[in-house]
Amino acid sequence: MIGAIYLAWAHIRYHAGRSVLLVLIFAILGAIPLMTERLATLAEAQLLERANSTPLIFGPPGSQLDLSLSALFFEGEPRAELSMIDFATLADMGLGTPLPILRTHSARGFPIVGIDIEYLEFRQLRISEGRPMVRLGEAVLGADVAARLGLGPGDKIQSEIREIFELAGAYPLRMTVTGVLDRVGTPDDTAIFTGLRTAWVVAGFGHGHENLATTQDESVVLSRDEGRIVANAKLTEYIEITEENASSFHSHGDPDEFPLSAILIDPNDERSAAILRGRIEDAGSTRQVFRPLGVVQALLDEVFRIKSVLNMLVAAVTVATLMALGMMIWLSLKLRRREFEISHQIGGDRSAMVRLVGAELALLIGASAVLCIALLMLIEVFGADLVRALLFGG
Amino acid sequence: MTRDVLKPLLMAAALFTASVSHALPKDGVVYTVNYPLQFFAEAIAGDDLDVVFPAPPDVDPADWTPDLDTLLDYQAADLILLNGAGYAEWTKGVYLARSRLLDTSAGFKDRLIAEESDEVPHVHGPTGAEVQGAAVAFTTWLDLSLSRAQAEAVRDAMVARWPNHAAAFSQRHAVLDAELAMLDAALSEALTPLRGRHVLASHPVYQYLERRYGLDVTSLHWEPDLTPPPEEWAALDALLGQRAATVMLWEGEPTQETRAALQARGLRIAVFPTLSNRPPEEDFVSILRAAIDAL
């Protein structure tokens, strides 16, 4: 048997190019279905984990999937159809902790997410560098935002104006970075978090400017009487909140009507969650509350239905490739018929030929298996990060 | 002999117990924005919670802004007691966990007293919206019926957050409430002779006292530690010429010169501290009781 292995190894080395090709083909055929299966499992786990860690989402009526993608993954067009009245209603129910979210503009390609400070605790987001935002105009960065932009505590990041002629009149706001969050492998790594009030300023629902009662520049005043000063469009707003001008920042209109994109709810317990859902459903169709786990699971079921079709295609391609390989090996054996005849003529028995071919195939398949396992180990080590990067852009 | 031996032993035991009780970790931390709320919270929480009011003793907490470290401490607190009524404006510009904030005057918003503001409102463009939120008087606790409502809100918030101490909180609150009710009755009785009569005040801080106890207060802007300039005295004389008054309420003891000049005009000085900040000695109840006795 040793002789057969020796001869097989010599043959493989002699036909090194062909042998490497065969090893690669066998390895890829084995690894691709296993790797895709593993990556799909990791992706499913990460998507479900995000959904599972969010008991309830409260939002306007409409697509639960869109709302889930927006509130959980900060994906999709930012919308803000809720208001602080909704937040107050939920808070008054006392059935859980409502966590408001306002997705508004972006800064250097990353979403700006207005939150209450409790969001950080709810998501167990720890500050790795610096401190949490405390004052108006401050922000903390997700780990990937900080790494990719090379920003840290003390740096500035400016919001982008969404449209060139933004009719809402939102000026860009230069925010001060006060901290960087630990990397957690979720969409929180790629977000810029700031307080709701700062997010409202970014969205044009608050601003700061010189005191119109004492200004020396009358050209910014349209009219002035004892009861009211009307400013015109020439009045320049501050684009950065500093210690000196912070007190000049204010909002016009009813603060109760300031917008929110969604409200995550951390219910006190299962019973509270059920009561809360019942109350919202009883209240009519202007609002909805749902478990994002079910929505994300339904999305994944759809994805996996498509995946099963893809699996069948991969299986068909695998079978075809194996048949081609079989044909190639059979042709190769035919080409080696003269070699086998000479071997028989000089005294070798027929089983030695079988052992030689068997050893050769075993060595090739063994090498392919080693390569396949190495690829799978790579997926095991880096797969989670790869999936995170693919899903959440980290 | 036995007594001589027992006394030091008992004292040592008491000291040990006190130190152990002091060292025991509390179940939570409560931050407040003024002294009355600190007093109510401490009275209700007993030794179960840490109650912190971090303002330095020499500032008016209504105008004080905490430094960064103190803000971070507020942010980390389990419960933050706000006075509401626009008190402690700084709370509007910082990020504190909403579910841990308690506006202790939220239950009587309809009883808050609007104040006239010198500020002219502005809008952006002829159809722009105005900045909302009218100026409101904030020394709510000087109406002791509102103090009781605030203390009740504090109790409810503590019970909701630390239900395992509910019985103790309720028991201590009952004691506090009885004390505040007694003060309310005593203050009402003490102010009965002044009911409906014109009273002067050194600052516009007695709006709730005025309404609760039926006074007719005209407020000046006089600082206790400064003797007013002659034009202020002239204005006072003109005011007294129009509407006589016999009593002037002061947040603190006025200067000797002021006192003498007021007494010369037939005005009796009644020091009635607002107690926004913690007093160097005594507490909310004892100081109010003394002020009532002086009245």
Q: Does domain B25-108+136-188 have CATH number 3.30.420.40?
A: no
CB contact under 8 A, A226 and B97: no
The overall longest dimension of chain A from CA atoms, in Å, is 121
- Tell me the chain B residues in contact with residue A97 when contact means C-beta distances shorter than 8 Å: 99
pLDDT of residue A276: 92
Decide: A27 and A372 in contact? Cβ < 8 Å: yes
pLDDT of residue B4: 56
**Residue B185 vs residue B125, higher pLDDT:** B185
- Tell me the chain A residues in contact with residue B125 when contact means C-beta distances shorter than 8 Å: 222, 230-233
- Tell me the chain A residues in contact with residue B119 when contact means C-beta distances shorter than 8 Å: 213
What average pLDDT score do residues B99-104 get? 94
pLDDT of residue B1: 45
Sort residue B17 into left (φ over 0), alpha (ψ -120 to 50) or beta: alpha
Nearest to A230 among B92, B96, B123 (CB): B123
pLDDT tens string A264-307? 999 999 999 999 999 988 877 689 999 999 998 988 888 878 87
CB contact under 8 A, B93 and A247: yes
What average pLDDT score do residues B73-101 get? 93
What average pLDDT score do residues A8-29 get? 88
CB contact under 8 A, A253 and B75: no
Q: What angle do CA A208, A209, A214 make, to 5 degrees?
A: 135
Q: How far is B269 from chain A (nearest CA, A)?
A: 37
CB contact under 8 A, B122 and A247: no
ipTM of the complex: 0.81
What average pLDDT score do residues A328-351 get? 82
Range name among A184-193, B112-121, B224-233, B265-274 with the lowest pLDDT average: B112-121
Q: How far is B124 from chain A (nearest CA, A)?
A: 5
Nearest to B95 among A87, A97, A133 (CB): A133
Distance CA A42, CA A23 (A): 27
CB contact under 8 A, B121 and A118: no
Q: How far is A24 from chain B (nearest CA, A)?
A: 57
Place of tokens 């995946």: A307
CB contact under 8 A, B125 and A251: no
Q: How far is B87 from chain A (nearest CA, A)?
A: 15
- Tell me the chain A residues in contact with residue B91 when contact means C-beta distances shorter than 8 Å: none
- Tell me the chain B residues in contact with residue A133 when contact means C-beta distances shorter than 8 Å: 95
How does the average pLDDT of chain A come out, rounded? 87
What average pLDDT score do residues B138-152 get? 96
Decide: B139 and B274 in contact? Cβ < 8 Å: yes
pLDDT of residue B23: 54
Distance CA B23, CA B33 (A): 25
CB contact under 8 A, A231 and B125: yes
Chain A residue nearest residue B117, CA to CA? A227
- Look at residue A96 and tell me whether its pLDDT is greater than 60: yes
- Look at residue A393 and tell me whether its pLDDT is greater than 70: no
CB contact under 8 A, B98 and A118: yes
At the second CATH level, the architecture of B193-294 is 3-Layer(aba) Sandwich (3.40)
pLDDT tens string A179-219? 999 999 899 999 999 999 999 999 888 888 888 877 878 78
A214-218, B63-67, B115-119, range with greatest mean pLDDT: B63-67
- Domain chopping of chain B, boundaries: 25-108+136-188, 193-294
Chain A residue nearest residue B77, CA to CA? A118
- Tell me the chain B residues in contact with residue A227 when contact means C-beta distances shorter than 8 Å: 120-121
CB contact under 8 A, A118 and B97: yes
Decide: A90 and A265 in contact? Cβ < 8 Å: yes
Nearest to B119 among A116, A133, A213 (CB): A213
Nearest to B123 among A87, A91, A252 (CB): A252
CB contact under 8 A, A227 and B121: yes
CB contact under 8 A, A131 and B97: no
Task: Give the three-state DSSP class for B15.
Answer: helix
